[in-house]
Amino acid sequence: MNITFINGSPKAKAEGSASHVILNDLRTFLPNQKINEIHLNKQEVSEEQMQLLKSSDAIVFSFPLYVDSVPSQLLSCLYEMEKSLYALPVRVFAISNNGFFEGVQNRYALEVIRNWAVRTKLFWGMGIGIGGGGMILGQNIPVGKGSKKDMGRAMEKLSDSILNNKSGEDILVNMNFPRFLYKMIADHGWKVKARRNGLKIKDLYKTL
Amino acid sequence: MKLIIHDFRGEDANIPELSASENTRVISDNGKIKPCIGCFGCWLKTPGECINKSDGYNNIGRLFGNCSEMLVISECRYGAYSPFVKNVFDRCIGCILPFFEIINGEMHHKKRYGNEIKIKIMLYGDITGEERQTASNILRRNFVNLHVTNHEILFFKNKEDLKGALL
């Protein structure tokens, strides 16, 4: 089975994105599978990337939620891919992550990918929405354990759908962590980063 | 100030209804816009303004924060805005703060500006029922995240019908 992972983060380096960490976590549920990974961080898909996508049995998008939807450069790529992948026997999966605590906030971004799959006459698999994306990068927690317990359960179902070429219901998960603490740590984190940039806290509230 | 954001190009864009004036600013597609790269510079380095000044689209957050009326014209495909209009919204987040608050039981960002925006969104294209539903739901979430209370969403089968409604 040919599986292609699509990292839809617009960051310059794939390794610096939560979307990449999520795909690495998903790999642990897909042992012995041939998996290619491409990074669609530009507004177009290269010929080489498109060839990989065309030869896939399953493709898995992993992207950050941007303003309640798919990041703009990935949308541009979807337009191109609609033409090139039209009616191929490919099943499509999607994982959207967001910085807000609630995974449910990803549900309509997952629908965008599903609507794209329907327009492109591909087979829809399922999606996962993951909240608390701020906890994904820079932490070495194995998927299925601790704060990533529910994320692990969701990935188990998604990988089962990939391997059995079937569809499933979308799953929307939060980190197994208290929301008030997540919010407190995140708000503190903004202040720490601003100070590192030479700003005062009041500068963050500036209006122009 | 009224802000118009649209994805019309060429002759379609050359109509009086989409022209800038003393009280109207227009954000349109010159083919050069760069995507937001999620660096949070507009929150943590140059608060309120995007750090990427290379394409001239670095002031979107400021325009969002200083307008009282907004007209958005976009193709709708898959239930999303066109890539250009989505890019404009991705680059607008300087108009809100990094800090979080809970609204309707969910986490969102706090307001930076005190302006009340009246927004009208006109979407065009061969839009399926599912795509229309997705678009409506995404826009409703946008209104919460951008703190917009006065809003209207209209769908059109094509650009011509939409242009007719602008006259």
Instruction: Give me the residue from A73, A78, A205 closest to B78, CB to CB.
Output: A78
Work out the number of other CB atoms within 10 angstroms of the CB of residue A39: 20
Separation between Cα atoms, residue B20 and residue B4, nearest integer Å: 8
Q: What is the pLDDT of residue B107?
A: 97
User: Which of B133, B156, B157 is CA-nearest to residue B72?
Assistant: B156
Which of B161, B83, B119 has its CA nearest to residue A66?
B83
Low-confidence ranges of chain A (pLDDT < 70): none
| Residue-range definition of the domain harbouring residue B148 | 2-166
Nearest by CB to B83, which of A72, A203, A208?
A72
ipTM over 0.85: yes
In degrees and rounded to multiples of 5, residue B44 shows phi and psi of: -115, -5
Query: Which one of B48, B59, B142 has the shortest CB-CB distance to A68?
Result: B142
B145·A68 Cβ contact <8 A: yes
Q: Is the pLDDT of residue B59 over 80?
A: yes
State the first-to-last Cα distance of chain A, in angstroms, to the nearest integer.
53
Q: Confirm if B12 and B163 have CB atoms less than 8 A apart.
A: yes
Element containing residue A58 per DSSP (H, E):
strand A58-64
Q: What CATH number is given to the structural domain containing B77?
A: 3.40.50.360
DSSP assignment, residue A148? G
Measured between beta carbons, which residues in chain A are less than 8 angstroms from residue B130?
A: 111, 115, 118
Q: Looking at the predicted structure, is the pLDDT value of residue B121 above 80? A: yes
- Nearest CB partner across the interface for B48, out of A75, A187, A208: A208
- pLDDT for B20 beyond 80: yes
CB pairs below 8 Å between A and B: how many?
142
Strands B118-124 vs B69-77: parallel, antiparallel or unpaired: parallel
Q: What's the burial of B31, exposed, middle or buried (CB within 10 Å: 0-12/13-18/19+)?
A: exposed
Residue A137's pLDDT is 87
Contact B121, B156 (CB under 8 A): no
A14 burial via Cβ count (<10 Å: 0-12, 13-18, 19+):
middle
Band the pLDDT of B134: cuts 50, 70, 90.
very high
Q: What is the total count of domains within chain B?
A: 1
Mean pLDDT of chain A: 97
Q: Please report the pLDDT score of residue B147 as a whole number.
A: 87
Mean pLDDT of chain B: 96
Predicted confidence at residue A138, as pLDDT, reads: 75
Q: pLDDT tens digit string along A175-208?
A: 999 999 999 999 999 999 999 999 999 999 999 9
More confident residue, A125 or B167: A125
What is the structure's pLDDT at B39?
94
Answer yes or no: do B78 and A115 touch at CB < 8 A: yes
How far apart CA B129 and CA A119 sit, in angstroms, is 12
Closest-CA residue of A relative to B61 is A208
Chain B closest-CA separation from residue A149 CA (Å): 21
Cβ distance B90 to A67 less than 8 Å, yes or no, reads yes
Residue B149's pLDDT is 87
